[in-house]
């Protein structure tokens, strides 16, 4: 239960951050990277693989987004009689719309597949839909909302976004596993809306280098499951820093290749079940996430390899299958702006 | 349109324009100015000096000290073309006619007079040199494609933003590609405005171009280009 609860957090993370902002962790937004996002253009600021960026969608522009986060977990027990979490695939489809040059709205639909070692209990299904809003602003001899039109010189200014959102309980919080049990960590919904709030800052340090910072948090409500248990997941806090290098640009072919390195700090609060702190949940960790982003015309594709480089989980030896205990995570996103 | 698309459009358009545009520039001669044409600032190769017939000049606009209305300037003959000063700001407009790019080079002829034309255009050009600040420079001097300032550029230093607008026939010109020393930096918005960052002291060279289809046997399109020149101490 504890392990799956921890992993559940990663689900939520993906829903909010990822989505919303995503390069959203934005993987969703980073795509602005789409030649869009992050994109801002073939010579504009770069976008990280997963962290939220300060790029808003152009007014009237629509972003289509798809992400796969494949998490492979370390296993602690070689006894086949005690199957552990093997891997999980977190899919995310999303659409964004530029309501104004300074305000973007996003809708994300996740699909999760969690697979245990043979003999374990798997789960899969569509998870909670999330809705996000993003307000973009900048400092250009004074604070101002992102204008309709910016030159490359304008894009060199500090850009910021405030984003927030919530999930709708469209997933199945009371999903029954093959043995008839409910494991909150393997459910595909939270049961009640959860919320997210974040801030991003982005600065082109030079024509080639871009710095990106995300600070965000996600909160949950207590939900009573059909089996009578009440669970409230611990709050998540993230601080993601990234440096992006524009390695190759071919204006004629509308092609750009960026190299990105992210350091992601994640604090997971301890979950509470039936009013009592849950053991084997929560902790702190730092991930390294190198990746490459390719822009071509109005398309952006990203590949990254994410792995924990420092962990201080509350009960680490018992938190197999949760965030911080991955062997690695492979992240792929595809987005198009039209 | 995405930022990326904008950048691409800008780059492509500017490169295209740059590939068939001449530079115009003034050199001071006592209180007068000598107008040259050639490839002094261009990114592409070409003759350093490309003399022109004074007949191509369609207008001169000299904003003289203590005046608010530009007046025509007396021009001489020959090349480089002498234009009478002094002026706080001087603008010269030209119609250099039809140009055609062929496999053997670029000719100053309409496409229907040549064989094997790859592309052709009608070039309408202008160059504006600003010597000192005047509030009057917030408005255009001509009705041609032209840069106007939103603020005194001579108060800026390296790293500051230069806030400009491009106007055509007195109205904001949207979607005009703008370059700083040949480097495309963006396109103008609905209000014709664009911001550029001052990168260095000395001569500042800003160019803009606007293309429109031309339904003619003489050329495929009409290219309006303008050059703004001033110095930052």
Residue B148 lies in a domain: yes
Neighbours of B159 (CB within 10 A): 9
**CA–CA distances in Å: residue B33 to residues B83, B124, B227:** 5, 21, 16
Q: How far is B16 from chain A, CA to nearest CA, in Å?
A: 11
Query: Is residue A50 a contact partner of residue A58, using CB atoms and an 8 Å limit?
Result: no
B91 at A interface, C-beta within 8 A: no
pLDDT above 80 (res A143):
yes
**Of A14 and B63, the one with more pLDDT:** B63
**What's the rounded mean pLDDT across residues B191-220?**
94
Place of tokens 């494991």: A183
Per-residue tokens: B120? 């052709």
- Looking at the structure of chain B, the number of domains it has is 1
Q: Which of B1, B3, B163 to mutate to test the interface with A (most CBs of A within 10 A)?
A: B3
What pLDDT is stored for residue A140 in this prediction? 95
pLDDT above 80 (res B12):
no
Q: Which of A42, A61, A152 to mutate to test the interface with B (most CBs of B within 10 A)?
A: A152
What pLDDT is stored for residue A92 in this prediction? 95
Q: Which residue of A has its CA nearest to B184?
A: A152
Alpha-carbon gap, residue A152 to B183, rounded angstroms? 10
Q: What is the largest CA-CA distance in chain B?
A: 53
Residue B216 lies in a domain: yes
Q: In terms of residue numbers, what domain contains B80?
A: 7-232
| pLDDT tier, A39 (very low <50, low <70, confident <90, very high otherwise) | very low
Per-residue tokens: B118? 């790859």
Quick one: how far is CA A199 from the chain centroid? 14
B46 at A interface, C-beta within 8 A: no
Place of tokens 């072919």: A253
B164 at A interface, C-beta within 8 A: no
pLDDT above 50 (res A8):
no
Summarised one tens digit per residue, pLDDT across range B140-167 is 999 999 999 999 999 999 999 999 999 9
pLDDT above 60 (res B1):
no
pLDDT above 70 (res B6):
no
Intra-chain end-to-end CA distance of chain A, in Å: 43
Chain A positions in Cβ-Cβ contact with residue B188 (cut-off 8 Å): 149
CA atoms within 13 A on the CB side of A296: 5
Percent of chain B at pLDDT exceeding 90: 65
pLDDT above 70 (res A55):
yes
Alpha-carbon gap, residue A251 to B156, rounded angstroms? 31
B5 at A interface, C-beta within 8 A: yes
| pLDDT tier, A41 (very low <50, low <70, confident <90, very high otherwise) | low
Residue B168 lies in a domain: yes
pLDDT above 70 (res A26):
no
Residue B202 lies in a domain: yes
Per-residue tokens: A27? 């993987």
Omega prior to A72 cis, within 30 of 0: no
Quick one: how far is CA A5 from the chain centroid? 17
**What's the rounded mean pLDDT across residues A117-125?**
93
Q: Which residue of B has its CA nearest to A297?
A: B5
Summarised one tens digit per residue, pLDDT across range A224-273 is 999 999 999 999 999 999 999 999 999 888 899 999 999 999 999 999 99
Residue B81 lies in a domain: yes
Residue B1 lies in a domain: no
CA atoms within 13 A on the CB side of A60: 3
Per-residue tokens: A150? 């910016």
**CA–CA distances in Å: residue A120 to residues A60, A69, A116, B204:** 47, 21, 5, 70
| CB-CB under 8 Å, B196 with A61 | no
B155 at A interface, C-beta within 8 A: no
| pLDDT tier, B231 (very low <50, low <70, confident <90, very high otherwise) | very high
Summarised one tens digit per residue, pLDDT across range B48-92 is 888 999 999 999 999 998 898 999 998 888 899 999 989 999 999
Residue B66 lies in a domain: yes
Interface confidence, given as ipTM, is 0.86
Chain B positions in Cβ-Cβ contact with residue A44 (cut-off 8 Å): 3-4, 7
Neighbours of B144 (CB within 10 A): 23
What residues contact residue A239 under an 8 Å CB cut-off, 6+ apart? A213, A214, A215, A264, A265
| pLDDT tier, A81 (very low <50, low <70, confident <90, very high otherwise) | confident
Query: pTM (2 decimals)?
Result: 0.86
| CB-CB under 8 Å, B15 with A149 | no
Residue B2 lies in a domain: no
| CB-CB under 8 Å, A34 with B7 | no
Question: Measured between CB atoms, which of A40, A252, A297 is closest to B3?
Answer: A40
B188 at A interface, C-beta within 8 A: yes
Chain B positions in Cβ-Cβ contact with residue A141 (cut-off 8 Å): 161
């Amino acid at each position: 239960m504890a392990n799956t609860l921890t992993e559940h957090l990663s689900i939520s993370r993906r829903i909010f951050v990822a989505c919303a902002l995503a390069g959203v962790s934005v993987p969703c937004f980073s795509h602005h990277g789409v030649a869009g996002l992050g994109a801002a253009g073939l010579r504009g600021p770069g976008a990280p693989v997963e962290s939220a960026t300060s790029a808003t969608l152009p007014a009237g522009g629509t972003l289509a987004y798809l992400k796969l986060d494949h998490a492979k977990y370390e296993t602690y027990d070689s006894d086949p009689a005690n199957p552990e979490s093997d891997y999980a695939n977190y899919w995310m489809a999303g659409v964004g719309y530029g309501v104004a040059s300074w305000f973007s709205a996003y809708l994300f639909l996740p699909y999760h597949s969690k697979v245990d070692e043979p003999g374990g209990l798997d789960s899969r299904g569509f998870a909670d839909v999330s809705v996000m809003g993003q307000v973009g602003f900048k400092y250009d001899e004074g604070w101002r909302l992102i204008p309709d039109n910016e030159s490359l010189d304008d894009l060199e200014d500090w850009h910021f976004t405030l984003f927030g959102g919530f999930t709708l309980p469209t997933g199945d919080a009371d999903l029954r596993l093959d043995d008839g049990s409910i494991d909150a960590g393997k459910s595909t919904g939270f049961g009640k809306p959860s919320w997210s709030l974040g801030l991003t800052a982005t600065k082109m340090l030079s024509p080639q280098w871009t710095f990106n910072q995300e600070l965000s948090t996600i909160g949950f409500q207590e939900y009573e499951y059909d089996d009578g248990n009440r669970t409230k997941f611990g709050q998540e806090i993230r601080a993601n820093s990234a440096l992006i290098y524009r390695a190759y640009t071919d204006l004629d072919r509308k092609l750009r290749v960026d190299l990105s390195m992210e350091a992601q700090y994640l604090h997971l609060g301890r979950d509470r079940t039936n009013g009592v702190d849950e053991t084997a949940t929560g902790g702190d960790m730092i991930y390294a996430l190198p990746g490459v982003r390719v822009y071509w015309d109005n398309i952006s594709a990203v590949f990254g390899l994410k792995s924990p480089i420092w962990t201080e989980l509350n009960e680490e030896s018992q938190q197999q299958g949760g965030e911080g205990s991955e062997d690695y995570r492979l992240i792929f996103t595809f987005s198009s702006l039209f | 349109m995405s930022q990326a698309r904008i950048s691409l459009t800008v780059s492509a358009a500017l490169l295209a324009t740059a590939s068939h545009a001449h530079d115009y520039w003034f050199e001071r001669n006592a209180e007068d100015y000598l107008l040259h044409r050639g490839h002094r600032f261009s990114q592409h190769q070409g003759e350093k000096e490309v003399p022109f017939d004074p007949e191509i000049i369609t207008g001169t606009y000299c904003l003289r000290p203590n005046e608010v209305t530009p007046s025509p300037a007396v021009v001489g003959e020959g090349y480089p073309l002498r234009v009478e000063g002094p002026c706080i700001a001087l603008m010269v407009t030209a119609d250099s006619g039809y140009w055609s790019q062929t496999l053997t080079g670029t000719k100053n002829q309409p496409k229907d007079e040549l064989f094997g034309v790859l592309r052709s255009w009608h070039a309408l050009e202008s160059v504006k040199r600003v010597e000192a600040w005047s509030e009057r420079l917030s408005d255009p001097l001509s009705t041609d494609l032209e840069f106007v300032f939103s603020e005194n550029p001579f108060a800026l230093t390296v790293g500051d933003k230069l806030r400009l607008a491009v106007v055509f026939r007195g109205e904001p010109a949207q979607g005009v590609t703008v370059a700083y020393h040949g480097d495309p930096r963006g396109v103008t918005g609905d209000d014709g405005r664009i911001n550029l960052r001052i990168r260095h002291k000395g001569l500042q060279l800003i160019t803009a171009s606007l293309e429109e289809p031309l339904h003619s046997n003489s050329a495929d399109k009409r290219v309006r280009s303008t050059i703004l020149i001033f110095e930052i101490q």
